[in-house]
Amino acid sequence: MPDTVLVLWDIDRTLLYVGNTDRQVYRETFAQVVGRPAEQFPERGTGMTMPLAIRGLLMDNGVDERDIPELLPTMVEFLPQCLSAHVPEMKRSGTLLPGALDSLRAVHEARGLIPTVVTGNLKPNAVIKLRTFELDPYVDTEIGGYASDDQHRPALVGIAQKRAEAKHGIAFSGANPVIIGDSLEDVRTGLLGGAPVIGVASGKTTSGELKDAGANLVLPDLRNPEHLLAAIAELTA
């Protein structure tokens, strides 16, 4: 294994589940910005970045394509504010996924591993979710890759690497990052972004689907931190 490995965690359905909160935030944001209720909503659990999900939300609900360049950034700006108002609801109805906290701690404490996130969330939304479930001490959110940076998830791998290089003075390449995520989009992010992927069958995507999509290794969940650490070592050997 390289001396230092950048561990890129996904958030939703890998570490935590916020129930209906994200959908409610989309509903309220759409009504606030567009001025009428939305009837169609993005599919759940796909891993799509928020800007792409919002574009689809606008188009699926009959917004003129010519208006999207103006409405989309307005919605992106409003989303974190709206999510903040739902923190009590997330605490009540959301949940940490099995083994998430122990696995996060194990990666955080392991020598030579630098944990951060690569996520389809906007950075403010990602930080709100991690703080709500008290996971933020175990990942360096300063060096992550977020939908705020680029709407195409594969680009976020390189963004996180550059931030980690600037902070730690270490050159990161295809040999020393690894992605941990639950969706086909996490797998695609690794394949196109140049990072091996540990699939976790904790979301809507099955182990077989993750393998067929190209995940390098697949775990049923995060209940066994030792298996996770062994998987990281194997993929970065």
Question: Rounded to an integer, what distance in angstroms lies between the CA atom of residue 54 and that of residue 17?
Answer: 20
Q: Which residues does 157 contact at the CB level (< 8 Å), separation at least 6?
A: 8, 118, 145, 177, 179, 189, 190, 193, 194, 195
Question: Rounded to an integer, what distance in angstroms lies between the CA atom of residue 178 and that of residue 185?
Answer: 14
Which CATH architecture describes the domain 5-18+95-235? 3-Layer(aba) Sandwich (3.40)
Question: Rounded to an integer, what distance in angstroms lies between the CA atom of residue 47 and that of residue 120?
Answer: 6
Listing DSSP states for 200-227 in one string gives ETTSSS-HHHHHHHT-SEEES-SS-HHH
pLDDT in tens, the chain (237 residues): 568 999 999 999 999 999 999 999 999 999 999 999 999 998 887 888 999 999 999 999 999 999 999 999 999 999 999 999 999 999 999 999 999 999 999 999 999 999 999 999 999 999 999 999 999 999 999 999 999 999 999 999 999 999 999 999 988 887 789 999 999 999 999 999 999 999 999 999 999 999 999 999 999 999 999 999 999 999 998
pTM for the full model? 0.94
Query: Tens of pLDDT along 118-166?
Result: 999 999 999 999 999 999 999 999 999 999 999 999 999 999 999 999 9
Residue 207 amino acid letter: S
Strand-pairing partners, residue 8, are 116, 179
Query: Tens of pLDDT along 61-82?
Result: 999 999 999 999 999 999 999 9
Q: Write the CA distances from 92 to 76, 95, 187, 195, 222, integer angstroms.
A: 25, 8, 31, 35, 22
The SS3 call for residue 102 is helix
Using the CB atoms, write b or e for 180-200: b if 16+ within 10 Å.
bbbbbbbbbbbbebebbbbbb
Topology of the domain comprising 21-91: DNA polymerase; domain 1 (1.10.150)
Domain ranges of the chain: 5-18+95-235, 21-91
78's tokens: 């409003």
233's tokens: 């070592």
Question: Rounded to an integer, what distance in angstroms lies between the CA atom of residue 177 and that of residue 163?
Answer: 13
Sign of the torsion formed by the C-alpha atoms of 136, 109, 140 and 218: negative
Calculate what percentage of the chain has a pLDDT beyond 70.
99
